[in-house]
Structures are given as C-alpha cells and as structure tokens.
Amino acid sequence: MKRHSDKPIKLTEVCLRDGSHVVRHQYSVEQVVTVAKALDDAGVPYIEVSHGDGLGGSTLQYGKSLVDEMTLIEEASKVCTNAKISTLLLPGIGTVHDLREAYKRGAGLVRVATHVTEADVAEQHISFARELGMEVHGFLMMAHSAPVSKLVEQANLMEQYGAGAVYITDSAGALLPSEVKERVKALRESLNIEIGFHAHNNLSLAVANTLVAIEEGATRIDGSVRCLGAGAGNTQTEVLVAVLNRMGMNLGIDLYKIMDIAEEIIGPILPSSQEIKKGSLTLGYAGVYSSFLLFAERAGKKYGIDPRDILIELGRRKAVGGQEDMIVDVTSELVKQKVEVINR
C-alpha cells in the first residue's frame, strides 16, 4: 500500500471510553487499571479514558457512571509508564473545569468533539487545552452527514483554534470506503496538521475504512480491543495490528499481547459479543449515532415499537449526538401513528 504520508501512525485505544457505552458506563477501578496496565505493556501509545459521552457525561440523560471518571483517569495514569492517557470532551457536556481536572489527574491528550458542522463551539476548549500544555485534537462527529466542503471548512476552523490533528469521525459507521478516501484526501490537501480517523463497524467496514484512511494520509487512528464500542463497536485493534503487520507497517504494538488482552481481559468484561446484529446494522444503514442503539432498543421494548423503525426515523430527522431525548419523542409519535392505523 502506497501511503500519502511518511509520518508514523499512532493509535488511540478507545475501549475504556467508547467501550463504556457497552457496559452502560459501569467500569470499575479494578477493570480500568487492569486494562490500562496491559495496554501500556503491549505498547499502545494512547489510551482514552472517560464516560462514553466524554467528560461530564455521567448524567441521567446519557447514563450514570459507576465510578467518577476523574478517578478512573487518575488510576489509569498511575499504572502507565509509556502510554499517554487521553480523554474526550464534547462542549456543552464537558467544561473547561472538567478539562483542567482531567489534566491534573493525568490526562495528556484531549480530543474535543463536535458535530461535523459545529466546530466553532470548540474554540474555547481547544485553546484552553493548549494553555494547559496538553496535546489537543479536533473530533468532527457524524462526518458522513455533511458535504465534503463543509467538513473541510470545519476542520480548518479546528486547525486555526490550535488542534494538532483533526479526526474524521464516522460516529454512525455509515461511511463507505470511497467516501472515506474522498474525505481524507480533501483534508490532506487543505490542512497543515495531522488527520485522524475514527470508525464504527456497523456496516462491517471499520478495518477496511481505516486502511483506506491510512493510505490517503491519516496518521492518527483509533482502535478498540475486541471491537468494544457503541453499536457494533469500533475498528478491532488486534485485527488491525495483525493486518498492518502483514502489510509491513509496525505500530510498535505487541501482536500476541494485544491478542491476549482481547481474549483474556476484555472477553470476560463483554456483556455479549460485538456482533453486527439487526440494530447495529440499522445504525449504519440509517446513518444514526452509534450510542443511540441501546436507548432505541429500550424505548422499543417499552412501547412495543420495532427499534429499527425508531432508528430509521431518527436518521430521517438527522438526529445528532446529544439528542438522546429525541428517542422517546420519536417513539411516542410512532406509537400514535400505529394506533391511528389500527383504528382506521
């Protein structure tokens, strides 16, 4: 594979952040410490720790955490000798005060995440992270839902604010390889900073899309051991490492050790396997934020509505991350429509 960048590829492991959705944000200190220590020993350079929806996400709307995320960040940082602890912040959920506290507890990298059309809300947080001395990257979520020109415009804003990299974030797992190629190429031609790619596996394309992103010039990539993440999960770290090794691209991650982590440490944590089932497949098909799945399934069960109908309607309405409260409203409307049909 001929790459369009000679910079080294750096992976951020997200099983302790995106994977938090899968365990309903019930990670214990012991679990986080065990996973972080093993990932550090395997050579993973960045390990992301927070509530699934980022700093400040532990709420009734998004799901209450078992353990305060600041404690998890602090305990993870204590056992990492080489890896840098990363965290995620969505302006409007997390604040600069949360960011300062996360930095004090050991976070060295923050990814500031916004909807793909709303980069302007990240200026304060990106600037503040730089003042603290943190690495800071921009994270443009739901990247499939805006024209490439808009993505480029918003990525340029994040670069102007001081981000050292901007991620194309396929929050719905909806992008096709050709669409990934087009987006990474456009950013490569426009930005002077690194390009990142974060995938979800709802259409079974996470590894393939990540490879396309790397080929086109992305140097910051995300993976999750055992595919542990919202929806059908993220790019499976151990699979990606094996594939890249075969292609002659060594990330510095010990393949056997990352395999063992997947099998022996993450496996027992999983409530169920990260398969592409009808719900997660519908996420990718409809282009809906991956963390909406559990909420849609819960609402569907409560109101007797097929969760796929809820997700399709959310996709039609172009719901974005942070609008979980829409799920109940949409479900109620579908129930009303169902009753009207019955009564005709």
Where in the sequence numbering do the catalytic residues fall? 21
- Angle at CA of residue 35, ends 264 and 104, nearest 5°: 180
18 is in an annotated binding site: yes
Q: Is 204 annotated as a binding residue?
A: no
267 near 51, Cβ under 8 Å? no
**From the centroid of its chain, how far is CA 173?**
10
Integer Cα distance of 318 and 286 in angstroms: 9
198 is in an annotated binding site: yes
Tokens encoding 270:
């999983």
Q: Which helix (H) or strand (E) holds 40?
A: helix 29-42
Contact 184, 168 (CB under 8 A): yes
What sign has the CA pseudo-torsion 175, 178, 184, 186? negative
CA distance 186 to 216: 10
* Cα 84 from Cα 73, distance rounded (Å): 11
Distance CA 133, CA 115 (A): 25
The one-letter amino acid at 235: T
| Residue 171 marked in a binding site | yes
C-alpha span between 177 and 53 (Å, rounded):
26
Residues within the annotated binding site? Answer: 17-18, 171, 198, 200, 289
Residues within the annotated binding site for substrate? Answer: 17-18, 171, 198, 289
Residues within the annotated binding site for Mn(2+)? Answer: 18, 198, 200
